[in-house]
A and B are shown apart, each in its own frame.
Chain A
Amino acid sequence: MVIAAPQTVDVDVNAVIDKLKEKFPEAVKNDTRQGYKGVIVDKSKLVEVATSIRDEFGFDYLSSATGVDYLGIADEMEMVYHAYRTTGGPALVFKAQTPRDNPEIPSLIDVWPGVDFQEREVWDLYGIRFPGHPNLQRILLWEGFNGHPMRKDWKEAYFEEDHKPFESRWPAGHVHRIEEKNAYGHNVMYPADLDLSRLTDTSEESLYNSLGLGVDVQDLTGEGGIKTDRLVVNLGPHHPSTHGVFRMVVTLDGETIETLDPVMGYLHRNHEKIGERNSFLQNMPFTDRLDYISSMSNNLGYALAVEQLLALGARYQPPTYRAEVIRVLMAELTRIVNHLWSLGFLLNDLGAFFTPMLYANNEREKILDFFEATAGSRLMCNYMRFGGVFKDIPERIHSVVNMVNDKVRDYNTMDYLTEMINERLPRFMDEYERLLVNNEILKTRTVGVGVLPADRAIAYSTCGPLLRGSGVAYDIRRSDPYSIYPELDFDIPVGQNGDIYDRFMVRVYEIRESLRILKQILPRLERTKGEEVVSKFNYLGRVPIGESYGRVENPKGELGYYVVSAGDEKGPQNPWRYHIRAPSFINLTALGPMSKGYKVADVVTILGSIDIVLGETDR
């Protein structure tokens, strides 16, 4: 395990843009819309420009690619790309526009293979076609679904108004249940030309066809004697070790994986569509439900994105110092919670059935008690606000010493935190490491398995422990710092071989580093006691027109929020576009290539080592 040195973060993006415009005077223009950043690239030159951005300007990491529908504003659809350098620094934002009736933008899959799933998602939800993409199939919904739901003119069955709260639900003070208004009593809607004579479920069939698995007959007598038949196996969506409703279609040659295709969308709960109808603040509790193990840091990412927008306005007040301290406290505790959970489940997948998980969970419960005392809920904290946090940490807290058969005790919160951070968690980590780090079975199953080389890891836009396990020291807390991380002292652990064991160790070391950060947070908490934690103006204020991309180093990797405000000056305000760059979703791009050639039992472990959560994958 190597501890990486801090990175350089001064990149002059404007200079890069100037050079880019010099090189492509025809194709690249500044984005001059109010509150927008970056450049607009002519779509016919997109691949060329992108290649140059990657190779000549060194923006080798494509963080996010997403679509926006500007119906009513510009009658255009747009793809927005955020590229970064893996050596650190801010983003180069570039966009490509296409008319709404026949939207088409060249695929960037040859430049950055990491756009694979993201382009499929945009095709699925916006209906933008990507010529050059080898497998442009729906990814979150099923083949045959009616329309492209994220388009602004697509309305769902329970749709009523553009803003919440829906007034039609309580005419004259009475509640109307929306089910009663729908003739089917369900959340469904059929097109007028529904063909009742041909109602068969073809979603599975077209899935297999798109994977090239439509033909079952195999050549049994190839060269070199009898060949075994290729076997198609479905893991999931109901499977104990897929960590939720995730599905993998695997073709096997004997026990060896030939191909592996992730199938997702079983938890696609339309977060973005719902989010564009909520007000900015109403989205905060929804972000909890993305990566539901680390809700606190999800809140932080969204708060950062909207604060960037608020900062465009005149009367913005940045969060107070105490608010930043509390935010970092919560984010790092969340990292520990998440890593404890994922280490436990990784071992579970290796066959250490539940014992390590139960031990890790005990420590997690202690932290959850603190979350509950502070935010009111164990999991869904809904704690951060624009310009701070929702309230200060409490004076006293109720918890237990032992997780089994103990009475509830009353603690001073600072004592509780100090004891937990300085003694309890380090002690636990010592024990955990002693038992596991050099464990022979663990090593045999993980060393050299599921290898992802560094260049592939960058190309697939992977992030978090998966990327760092492959030896790339990219951690947003250092590379594109936010909050008070620049003044804190911590290192970024990176692996060398990019195998499962390295990812495991990166997480173990990250818990240690988080504890180191938390030790520096405690005196700051004491020092700032009594200061304000939120400014009222910021969450009552209006969000100015513009776009922003707020990203944080979530425990699972880079979580980014792309928010566009169309800025209705008077009426109700809601985000025009609310996109989530989910680390789990994009990390899965690497799953197929990583699993090829390994055994079925290894796939489960490889998946466990990516550490996905479905709320975020499918959104």
Chain B
Amino acid sequence: MSDLNLRELHNTEFPIPDELQSNLAITSLSKVYNWSRRSSMWPLLFGLACCAIEMIGTAASRFDFSRFGMEVMRGSPRQSDLMIVSGTVTKKMIVPIVRLYNQMPEPKYVLAMGACASGGGPFKEGYNVVSGVDKYLPVDVYVPGCPPTPQALIHGLIALQKKIDGQSLANMDDVPWYGVGPSEPTPIPILGPDVIDPRQMDIIRRQAELAALGKPYGVRELPAPQMKAVVAAKGAAPAAAAADGGEVDAAKAERLRKREEALARKHAAKGE
């Protein structure tokens, strides 16, 4: 950021005389914090897979994300604020990734770049693939695409800046790192027969008990699809649905009635 524009920081509640506009700003602490943080995000120099190539492309001269204060890619997690998870997260790799995340100082952010990091992507079925880094780390911004174009990544980074702009020092749910005391590190996954998330020990124990009893384990029965109910609601007259009672149903019926009215109006307009 070459020119420091103090006007960006003004809090309009306190008027500042015109002649001092470029010398003086009265603002809140949060705003100063956020402004300085969002203007110098230092991403971790950390490429996982194909998406990393586009990340490097974004850093290179054509797209150049240093225009947004992000050019200082750091090799060490200790010096970085932002982890761009650029590529497929495998079970073998999630262990170092969680370690790296724990080593980053707070405040820290995670951006899931591409389909793989967001939800497993094309390789989701794979036995060694973690379907989305958000299974382990809190993700702030998801960038869709396979791979996302540099424009998309920059858009994601700008979205992250907007998110930071909206954070407040006063609200601790918003930014946990301004709370009292150190925050808990994310537990490191264990590579056993398959990857084990220590936070899931209870579920795993329960399933193991089922297995010991010779019952089916590891799967969950899903309720049958709700298709019929929806069709019935559509087919039934609004009045009949309302007669069923229940607030939800009433609201639904009301919506349906409004929609049908609108449709009728539309048809009428067309007919003319």
Contacts and interface: CB of A to CB of B under 8 A. Distances in A.
Interface of A: 140-142, 144-146, 149, 156-159, 171-174, 176, 178-194, 196, 199-201, 203, 237-240, 244-245, 265-271, 273-274, 277, 285-286, 289, 292-293, 357-358, 361-362, 365, 378-380, 403-404, 614-615
A382 to B, nearest CB: 10
A286 B124 CA distance: 12
Given A142-B191, A186-B130, A244 B64 contact: no
Contact of B125 (A186, A274, A358): A274
Given A196-B204, A293-B53, A614-B49, A183 B129 contact: no
Given A184-B203, A190-B218, A404 B61 contact: yes
B93 A267 contact: yes
B130 A182 contact: no
Contact of A289 (B50, B52, B219, B226): B50
Q: Which of A140, A185, A286 has most B Cβ within 10 Å?
A: A185
Chain B interface size band reads: 35 or more
Given A183-B218, A190-B208, A380-B50, A238 B96 contact: yes
A266 B90 contact: yes
A187 B227 CA distance: 27
A182 B204 CA distance: 12
Contact of A274 (B61, B126, B205): B126
Contacts of A187: 120, 124, 126-127, 129-131
B225 to A, nearest CB: 4
A394 B109 CA distance: 41
Question: Interface majority SS on A: helix, strand, loop or mixed?
Answer: loop
Contacts of A271: 123, 126
Contacts of A179: 131
A265 B123 CA distance: 15
B125 A192 contact: no
Contacts of B233: none
B225 A188 contact: no
A159 B149 contact: no
26 contacts: A145-B194, A171-B224, A181-B220, A182-B220, A183-B207, A184-B200, A184-B218, A186-B197, A189-B194, A190-B192, A190-B208, A193-B211, A201-B188, A244-B52, A266-B92, A266-B96, A267-B49, A269-B123, A269-B129, A270-B123, A271-B126, A289-B49, A293-B53, A378-B54, A379-B53, A380-B50
B95 to A, nearest CB: 8
Interface string B201-240: 1011101100110000111101011110000000000000
B195 interface: yes
Contact of B219 (A141, A173, A181): A181
Given A174-B227, A186-B197, A245-B48, A180 B127 contact: no
Among the interface residues B135, B191, B204, B225, which one has the most CB atoms of the partner chain A within 10 A? Answer: B191
A200 B62 contact: no
Given A144-B192, A271-B126, 12 more contacts: A145-B193, A157-B218, A182-B219, A187-B127, A188-B195, A194-B208, A237-B96, A238-B96, A265-B90, A267-B49, A269-B126, A378-B57
Contacts of A145: 191, 193-194
Nearest to B218: A183
Q: Which of B188, B193, B200, B217 has the most chain A CB atoms inside 10 A of its CB? A: B193
A203 B191 contact: yes
B192 A199 contact: yes
A379 B61 contact: no
Contact of B64 (A184, A193, A404): A404
Interface in B87-132: 87-88, 90, 92-93, 95-96, 100, 120, 122-131
Task: Please list the 8 inter-chain residue pairs (A to B) with the smallest Cβ-Cβ separation, ordered nearest first.
Answer: A270-B126, A146-B193, A292-B50, A156-B127, A174-B225, A269-B123, A192-B211, A403-B62
Contacts of A157: 127, 194, 218
Contacts of A365: 57, 60, 62
B144 interface: no
B250 to A, nearest CB: 25
A201 B207 CA distance: 21
B147 to A, nearest CB: 6
A149 B225 CA distance: 32
B262 interface: no
Contact of B90 (A189, A190, A268, A293): A268
A156 B96 CA distance: 23
